[in-house]
Structure 1
Amino acid sequence: MDEDVKMATLVDPINAYSFLYPVELPGKKFTFKWVESRKPERYSSAAPLSPDARQRIVSERVDMIHNIVISVSIGPPNSRFPPSKDKSKWDPKDVADWILAEKSSLKVTTGQRMTESSVLDAHSSDVDGEPYWYYEYLVRKSPTQSAPEPNLFRHNVACTAERDGYLYSLNASTLSKQWESMGPSLQKTVASFHLLPPTENYVPPYKDPWRFW
Structure 2
Amino acid sequence: MSSNKSRPNRQRSALEPQRRRGKDRVAALMEAAAGVIAERGFESATMAEIAARAGAQIGSLYRFFPNKEALADALIYRYGEIVREAFEKIEARASALSVHDLADALLNVLFELHGESQTMVALLEARSEWSVKRNEFRRAAVQYIARILTLRAPHLRPDTVEDVAVVLLHTMKTLKALTIQQGVAINTGAPAELREMTRLYLASKFGEK
Query: TM-score if structure 2 supplies the norm length?
Result: 0.23
Larger radius of gyration: 2
TM-score, length of structure 1 as denominator length: 0.23
1 or 2, which has the higher strand percentage? 1
Larger RCO of the pair (alpha carbons < 8 Å, separation 6+):
1
More helix by share: 2
